[in-house]
Structure 1
Amino acid sequence: MKQPLNNALIIVVIVIAIAFRIPYLDSIPPGLNFDEGAEGIAALDVTAGDYKIWWFIGGGKEPLMAYLVQPLFWIFGPTRFALRLYTALMGVGTVLAVYFLSWEFGIRNQESESISNFILLLPIIAALGVATSFWHVAYSRIAFRALSNPMVATLAIGFLWKGLRTHRRRDFIWAGSFTGGLIYTYLAGRFVPVTIFLFFIVEYNTTLEKLNCHAYSCFSGICPTWIIFSTASSCLCG
């Protein structure tokens, strides 16, 4: 498969993802559920200058959505559309992240001249699957902070795989940064570092030097965000 055709196909997939997620966001689905309302309250706190890294409302809210939705509030006002547009854009971003991860999975052990058409097509198929997945489309149309978790986790694993292919330290630092950022997305993100640590143990159980180098780079990206989160006790206590 030629690269221009591959690029054209991923553009088509992104258009499909946008078409499923953004039109009629303010009316479909109708109303706001309690989670969307709580996300809106947290975002309005940030708009008013009340900066936190944790909200106790609605069972607890991680902060990423409350902060990243602010430019959309500035453009569209503090509206249901602005809240939902954040998750819709995260949904489209996840489609691109899945394409990136699938590409890295496919080419990691391949020579550039021996990459088959199937390997080139695989990322398109994976991205199209997410773009048209009912559950992902449905959650991309409600203002639910958890939608950022799949995108950030996918980028973390994608850069980890890229680092294993290129052996570049910056790729491992990116992997660590996205992994560390998961703590600000949703509760499930806190378990991703454990799986990455176990991956290093299994992958490099006989190559301690590589383990030390790659793991150090990766976890140097994770540590700053986790330290900030764990030491901000005043924010956690309201």
Structure 2
Amino acid sequence: MKATREFEGLSAIVTGGASGIGLATARTLVARGARVAVLDLHLGLDPGPVYAIRADVGDSASVTAAVGRAVEELGGLDVLVNNAGIGARGTVEDNPDEEWHHVLDINVLGIVRTTRTALPHLRGSANAAIVNTCSVAAATGLPQRALYAASKGAVFALTLAMAADHIGEGIRVNCVNPGTVDTPWVRRLAEQTDDPEAELAALSARQPSGRLVTAQQVADAIAYLAGPLAGATTGTALAVDGGLRGIRLPREGLAP
């Protein structure tokens, strides 16, 4: 099937774009015609035909400088994908205050810093869109994810508030809620357990589809929400989770 080019003439910034979902998103947007700048703290991987700019979403000055440079290189800004984030394991007893502050600072305030810097540029676009990478953990209780879930619950609420605040300016704001995605970060988490292969198998089995979500599947959802085809869509969370949020299958041997 011939690739669509709905992003022809549009410019996009993707934070956390050097690996995983962010990298897949950047490449997808480029393939569909966009000019793309990747902002990431670690630029070790080749992000492909994009502008790669080092940025720390935990630092306002870094974000301001990186967004400014990106807009200059791109010649404007139409799409912002707030994808940068970090994870955490544990119950409310397990993570110290310092870790809570750090994860919330990156996952929530990182979106705030990048968005408020990008908004003046987005207001000049006829296809202004913001997509935040949230998580199924924002709406589904998962074990050993208290801190991470709290941060993503805040991202979900922030997405809705931003959508309400900026709809009058023609800026659409949505988020994707991935399930467990086969990314380097998930594999690093699995490697921290006693049996990484068993952990990956359990993560796959947790989703009704029986398999991990791919980074490309999430990237395709982000691209839809960011593009002109979703021109009437704002304030929406799109689940890409193999059915985890919406489907309950009976246990083997039990009647539904």
Based on CA coordinates, which of the two structures has the bigger radius of gyration? 1
TM-score (norm 2): 0.27
Kindly indicate whether structure 1 or structure 2 has the higher relative contact order, using CA contacts under 8 Å at least 6 residues apart. 1
Bigger proportion of residues as helix: 1
